[in-house]
Amino acid sequence: MTESKVKDSNGTPLTDGDTVQLIKDLKVKGAGETVKRGTTIKNIRLTSNDQEIECRTGSIKGLILKTCFLKKV
């Protein structure tokens, strides 16, 4: 088995279905919205890029976030 290369800001490995929390307020381009620090995001999906995950928040679907702004809960 290969070890997961996707890691959060603290170096903790991430897998599909994990729950993460934002460590910084992020402005979402195109949505005109800001996702606030401390927002919990459930059921993330890994992408082909080791530094990005796909997720959805309350009103934004198909959101791509960089792992450097996340910590595993």
* pLDDT tens string 58-73: 889 999 999 999 999 9
- Domains along the chain? 20-72 (2.30.30.40)
Q: Does pTM surpass 0.85?
A: yes
CB 27, CB 17: distance < 8 Å: no
* pLDDT tens string 6-61: 999 999 999 999 999 999 999 999 889 999 999 999 999 999 999 999 999 988 99
Determine the Cα angle at 29 with ends 27 and 34, to 5°. Answer: 25
